[in-house]
Structure 1
Amino acid sequence: MRFLKHAALLFLILPAAVSDPAHARPDTRQMTCAQAQALVKKQGAVVMSTGQYTYNRFVSTLRYCDRSQQLAPLYAPTRDTPQCFVAYYCKDIYRPNR
């Protein structure tokens, strides 16, 4: 009987624990430009939705990139700005073969 109570409880809790991760991601379109910038500044690196089916990883400094990468500006739509400079992304450095 105790097993059934635990199984029933797990059945109720499990769907909430494995909900769609896209809904948990911050969405730049729901924030002002300043709010999106502040979130990246506070967290250092954050993945945010930028459209219905798109997302990007925004970083505040080179510290969040690999050694073979550099910073490049990253713009996204926000509630008050169609193309807000939110932060940077980690861009691979092009090195031609020798």
Structure 2
Amino acid sequence: MVYGQRIATALACGVVLSCAAAALVSEADAQARPDTRKMTCAQAQALVKQRGEVVMTTGANTFERFISSARYCYSRTPLTVPSYAPTKDNKQCPVGKRCRQSRRFTD
């Protein structure tokens, strides 16, 4: 019976440690991506300008990749358009740009 209690205790400790590790990883993941809603418009713009490209949280379940110039686009004919996100001081802050592929029309 004592042996069985030791196994149960060891398993319980393993589960607790696993849950604690998972919580730490989840918290680290959440902190890894900057949140535009916690910055001023100027701070968000400065971060994009400084890094060149950055993925930021823009809402409860949304995120977006912002770039500073077309050199961060992956297509052959990179075009950029302004990209907006909510910040502490601006509901539609022009945080940076996003890539857009060109549309070629043929007759």
User: Which band: TM-score by shorter chain?
Assistant: 0.7 to 0.9
Change (3 A) 1:89 1:13: same
1:50 is aligned, of 58, 77, 81, to: 58
Deviation beyond 4 Å, 4+ runs, structure 1: 10-14
Give the % identical residues: 52
Q: Number of matched residues?
A: 90
Structure 2 gaps of 5+ residues are 1-13
| SS of the residue 1:38 aligns to | helix
Tell me by how many angstroms 1:14 deviates. 4.7
Where structure 1 has 5 or more consecutive residues not aligned to the other structure, the ranges are 1-7
TM-score under structure 1 length normalisation: 0.77
CA RMSD between the two structures: 2.3
- Radius of gyration: which is bigger? 2
Give 1:80's match in structure 2, choosing from 77, 86, 89.
89
Q: Superposed, which structure 2 residues align to 1:1-98 within 5 Å?
A: 14-15=21-22, 16=24, 18-19=25-26, 21-66=29-74, 67-96=76-105
The TM-score, its normalising length taken from structure 2, stands at: 0.71
